[in-house]
Structure 1
Amino acid sequence: MSPTASPPRRRRFRWVRAIFKLMGAFVVLSLLLVLIYRFVPPPVTLTMLMDPNGITKDWTSLDEIDPNMARAAIAGEDSRFCSHHGFDAVAIAQALRHNASGGRIRGGSTISQQTAKNVFLFQGGGFIRKGFEAWFTVLIEAIWGKRRIMEVYLNVAETGIGTYGVQAGAMRYFHHGAAKLTRAEAARIAAVLPLPKKRAAITPRGFTRRYGNSIAARIGVVQREGLDSCVR
């Protein structure tokens, strides 16, 4: 073997070793964060830090949030939340077919995926962010469980301009806490979740009003069919 071939190989080996070290460090750090947030409320998210409108939030345990809010989230965002393992293949396929036909873009993300993105990542980012999102989704499904995922989701989701979580949203829109949400109020907040900077739960109009009414009607279905059984 030529002596001049050895240094390039050593350099390549160092690069490979450095990459594996970075991957190992990321795995350990991500596992540690997920384990901590299993018991401790996430203090802040990147989305919050990047919000020029400031941050209004008030962490509230799931036991202190009216059950209709979780049902509304399931009805509006992820009807198979209690039965999938983080990814809803049916919803993804439906979204792909819908988007291919044109019109309003529809996402196929589950509540678990949205929670992983909101807590650990950032908005946008394309396929690279989606890859990290999938990793964190697997972790929180395995370590947190459905009830904790819903609790975190309802506390970090953006519910209005500079407003995060359903407690802050309830105070903003209805001037009372999330423990006293009516079915209609919970449905209105759920209708805001996909586009919180462009929709409002007070005197909603057009699509937001129709969507809120549809969610309110589906809350009863979620309850009767036990689609919220994993968070009760």
Structure 2
Amino acid sequence: MGRFWRWVWKVALALGLAPLVLTLLYNMVPAPSTLMLARWVTGQTVTRDFVPFDAISPALVRSVLASEDARFCQHIGVDMVELQNVMDSAEEGEPSRGASTITMQLAKNLFLWNGRSYIRKGLEMPLALYINLVMSKRRQLELYLNIAEWGPDGEFGAEAGARRAFGVGAGDLSARQAALLAVTLPNPYRRNPAKPGRGLNRLASNLQARLPREGPELTACL
């Protein structure tokens, strides 16, 4: 029994240290997501062409930031302002809304699993703080844009998403195309930027209307 528990402890230690080491490695090399790995292991298709940050349309960068995490340049991986707002809303009995940052989503995509879970959230937040400590904001966003799921058939990253939806590379997206891709991110299985319905078009239009107001603050750290 003693040998068994020593083995369990070693496995747990290795699992705990792996994200810390891999985050440092991912500063230098392209990173896969856990969902990409799962699809590879199960023989499903994965389409992902890693493109550097400067090869991604600035319109997509701004659109994703405005849609997913407008305070990306201000927070420390976890947005304490939004987290407090969520807590205040819960206390007042208002509908719950998320406070997930791009850094938290990156931590989930790199090391954790999909689905709602207090356990996952409990792991996600310290990982996000660590990622923000050892990785620049620019690199965080570059990785996120290259591993985010952007289609229902294993399309990952901005390049695959742009080519699937519009037949162009990530660097050639128009402002409208970028907005449509950005508002697709929460649910790429049900939202199709190539054939947007009334609801998706409305979301993209609202996003485009916000961009001039939020402007330089979105990308100040990049």
Name the TM-score class by shorter chain. 0.7 to 0.9
Q: Alpha carbons of 1:121 and 1:20: their partners in 2 closer, same or farther (altered >3 Å)?
A: same
Q: Is the 8 A contact 1:222 1:228 kept in 2?
A: no
Gaps of 5+ in 2: none
Q: Are 2:115 and 1:127 aligned?
A: no
Contact 1:183 1:219 in 2 (8 A): no
Q: Number of paired residues?
A: 215
Residues in 2 aligned to 1:129 and 1:163: alpha-carbon distance in whole angstroms: 24
Shift of 1:137: 0.8
Distance in 1, Cα, partners of 2:93 & 2:158: 33
For 2:7 and 2:116, the matched residues in 1 are separated by 24
Matched, 1:146 2:134: no
Seq. identity, %:
37
Match of residue 94, structure 2, among 61, 76, 101: 101
Unaligned runs of 5+ in 1: 1-10
How well do the aligned residues superpose, as a CA RMSD in angstroms?
Answer: 2.5
In structure 2, give the amino acid aligned to 1:58: D
Of 48, 53, 57, the residue aligned with 1:62 is 53
Q: Return the alpha-carbon distance in structure 1 between the equivalents of residues 125 and 30 of structure 2.
A: 21
Per-residue deviation, 1:156: 0.5
**Letter of the structure 2 residue corresponding to residue 176 of structure 1:** V
Question: 1:85 — aligned with what?
Answer: 76
Q: Deviations over 1:1-23 (max 9, x none)?
A: xxxxxxxxxx7xx96x7776555
- Is the 8 Å Cα contact of residues 116 and 133 (structure 1) preserved in structure 2? yes
1:196 aligns with 2:184: no
Query: What's the CA shift string for 1:36-66, capped at 9, x where partnerless?
Result: 1111001x32212445862111111101001
Partner residue, 1:3: none
Shift of the alpha carbon at 1:183?
1.1
Structure 1 residue 101, shift from structure 2 partner: 3.0
Question: Among 175, 181, 206, which residue is 1:214 paired with?
Answer: 206
SS at match of 2:113: coil
Question: Of the two, which has the highest radius of gyration?
Answer: 1
TM-score by length of 2: 0.86
Q: TM-score, normalised by structure 1?
A: 0.82
Residues 180 and 135 of structure 1: is their aligned pair in 2 closer, same or farther, counting only changes over 3 Å? Answer: same
CA distance in 2, matches of 1:138, 1:32: 15
**Counterpart AA for 1:101:** E
Q: Which amino acid aligns with 2:35?
A: T
- Alignment partner of 1:167 out of 159, 162, 167: 159
8 Å contact kept, 2:86–2:98 = yes
Residue number in structure 2 paired with 1:40: 29
Q: Following TM superposition, where does structure 1 have runs of at least 4 consecutive aligned residues deviating by more than 4 angstroms?
A: 17-24
Q: Is the 8 A contact 2:102 2:144 kept in 1?
A: yes
